Amino acid sequence: MALKNINPTKTQAWKQLTDHFEDIKDTHLKEFFSTHPNRAEDFTLAVDDLTLDYSKNRINQTTLDLLVALANESELTDAIEKYFSGDIINSTEQRAVLHTALRDASDREIMIDNANIKPAIKQTLDKMQVFSEKVISGQWKGYTGKAITDIVNIGIGGSDLGPDMVVTALQYYKNHLNTHFVSNVDGDHVSEIIKNLNPETTLFVVVSKTFTTQETLSNATTIKEWFLNTASEEDIAKHFVAVSTNLAAISEFGIDTDNVFPMWNWVGGRFSLWSAVGLSISLSVGFQNFKSLLEGASEMDTHFKNTPFQENIPVLLALISVWYNNFFDCETEAILPYSQYLSKLPSYLQQAIMESNGKSVDRDGKSINYQTGTIIWGSTGTNMQHAFMQLVHQGTKVIPTDFIGFETSLYGLEDHHKKLLANYYAQTEALAFGKTKEEVHLDLKFNNQTSQINTLLPFKVFEGNKPSNTITFQKLTPKSLGKLIAMYEHKLFVQGIIWNVFSYDQFGVELGKELAHKYYN
């Protein structure tokens, strides 16, 4: 069954939120804390190794109650049920949205067109395991009998960003294979990658759901030609594998059908890293770590499906984001991981979130007169503190932020980690509470700058009242990473439901492609 068509602005809760916004829009976070002594505790959720502190948001209990009422009036429970059970919620493409099935290791059957899809998922995972183990152990040989040393993932969008982000994030867990990613149609990108590669020891993983994407086919063709400079056609089978739904196109390209890892139409590209699209992940960190990634995501799925909205992490994150987007008119959100390993998370989430909810037509095909998808950007702490944080602290815009951190470091450099976390917490405090004129005055006096008080004071004041979520895991592991990614997948799902859009198509990318073809020809 399709999703319901409910205009959020026509709900009772929306009207109440509009009035409530007038009541609290100028309330400072300091006041929220001083009038609610247990706020930090009350507005913190802990689920296993994950803690979400959402106390530094410009909300009170009434805001939360009304936002939950909005979720109820938007029939979120019904939507979640449809999402997990394989209903055709991607109506415009007549597809189910079942990336969650890829990590569901239970015996629960999930039916598409009267057939259970779970056996095919299991079979593909088994094939990924066998293949990964052969390549990692050196049993899989290249055309001159040498073991593989390098993996090149050729794909773009969801066929690149997810695997690349995860392989970077799990670098600590990585084996001896060197992993490379080619995505851009810019020939300099592919040239830079192949210039240091040895065709005898390199494995190419061509990833394209459709196998029609210009960038991927161009890069794969260039690489195949480069490979054939030294090898012959029959050697392709030892060096090229493909992940796709389009078997005909793969075989036309010359890839052995035994080397094909299937994908399905019920997995959207930007949610596909859990499928065989994750082959480069499994090759880079081993199948067991890939499985742990799936397990982490599955734990988040269970939490999301079964937890009341008031205590449901993705739901709360989504509702708070709607509050800023639609009532405070905030346009952007920053993702700020305090781990260099997560340097690619912001770009990965840009596709997931912006390709999903960047829509201006509702589920009834009508133009929307309220704001939808947020603009996502960000970078890692502490680097970004020395770059763009000036604007977040003292600029004119309100930018909701997600701080993501880990209690323990991986290599155990204690002092570094203490400093990293000190900065992590300090930033959220500075954003929320700022520094008053009186405090600046005292500071200048103590630092013997009394003569400069009049000239410097206004520039050193921090208004504060800048919102943030603090999302802390115990440690960066494949499992916690899986949970983190799934958390954002569900957050964007909830937002799409509230905004009454279809989150799982992406027609907005098509016109540019068409025109590029016209210019190219």
> Contact residues for ligand F6P (CB under 6 A)?
156-159, 208-210, 213, 216, 269-270, 355, 506, 509
Helix, strand and coil percent figures for the chain, each rounded to 5: 55, 15, 30
Residue 128 CB, nearest approach to ligand F6P (Å): 17
SS3 17: helix
Instruction: Indicate which residue of 200, 215, 355, 489 is catalytic.
Output: 355
The per-residue b/e assignment along 301-328, b for 16 or more CB within 10 angstroms, e otherwise, is bebbeebebeebbbbbbbbbbbbbbbbe
For residue 484, give Cα distances in angstroms to 49, 260, 313, 323: 11, 29, 11, 22
Distance CA 45, CA 9 (A): 29
Instruction: Indicate which residue of 386, 438, 514, 518 is catalytic.
Output: 386
Residue 446 CB, nearest approach to ligand F6P (Å): 55
- Give the nearer residue to ligand F6P in terms of CB position, either 57 or 506: 506
Distance CA 346, CA 273 (A): 16
Instruction: Indicate which residue of 122, 134, 418, 513 is catalytic.
Output: 513
- Give the nearer residue to ligand F6P in terms of CB position, either 178 or 245: 245
The per-residue b/e assignment along 81-110, b for 16 or more CB within 10 angstroms, e otherwise, is ebbbbbbbbbeeeebbbbbbbbbbeeeeeb
The question of whether 407 is a catalytic residue gets the answer: no
- Give the nearer residue to ligand F6P in terms of CB position, either 254 or 358: 358
Q: How far is CA 486 from the centre of its chain?
A: 8
Residue with the two structure tokens 């700058």: 449
User: How many CB atoms neighbour CB 252 within 10 A?
Assistant: 10
- Give the nearer residue to ligand F6P in terms of CB position, either 156 or 432: 156
The question of whether 355 is a catalytic residue gets the answer: yes
Whether cis (ω within 30° of 0) applies to the bond prior to 77 is no
Six-digit token string for 405 = 């951190």
- Give the nearer residue to ligand F6P in terms of CB position, either 100 or 292: 100
- Give the nearer residue to ligand F6P in terms of CB position, either 159 or 168: 159
- Give the nearer residue to ligand F6P in terms of CB position, either 401 or 506: 506
The question of whether 176 is a catalytic residue gets the answer: no
- Give the nearer residue to ligand F6P in terms of CB position, either 216 or 401: 216
Residue 489 CB, nearest approach to ligand F6P (Å): 14
Residue 370 CB, nearest approach to ligand F6P (Å): 25
Q: How far is CA 232 from the centre of its chain?
A: 40
Q: How far is CA 168 from the centre of its chain?
A: 14
Residue 213 CB, nearest approach to ligand F6P (Å): 3
H/E segment holding residue 475: none
Residue 177 CB, nearest approach to ligand F6P (Å): 23
Residue 158 CB, nearest approach to ligand F6P (Å): 3
438 near 369, Cβ under 8 Å? Answer: no
Q: What's the full length of the chain, in residues?
A: 521
> How do 178-182 and 150-154 pair as beta strands?
parallel
SS3 60: coil
- Give the nearer residue to ligand F6P in terms of CB position, either 90 or 428: 90
Q: Please, what is the Cα angle at 131 between 125 and 135, to 5 degrees?
A: 140
Distance CA 428, CA 222 (A): 47
Query: What does 307-352 look like in DSSP terms, one character per residue?
Result: S-GGG-HHHHHHHHHHHHHHTS---EEEEEESSGGGTTHHHHHIII
Residue 162 CB, nearest approach to ligand F6P (Å): 9
Distance CA 103, CA 92 (A): 25
What type of residue sits at position 257?
T
Six-digit token string for 126 = 């088994």
473 near 484, Cβ under 8 Å? Answer: yes
Residue 277 CB, nearest approach to ligand F6P (Å): 8
Give the residue numbers marked as catalytic: 355, 386, 513
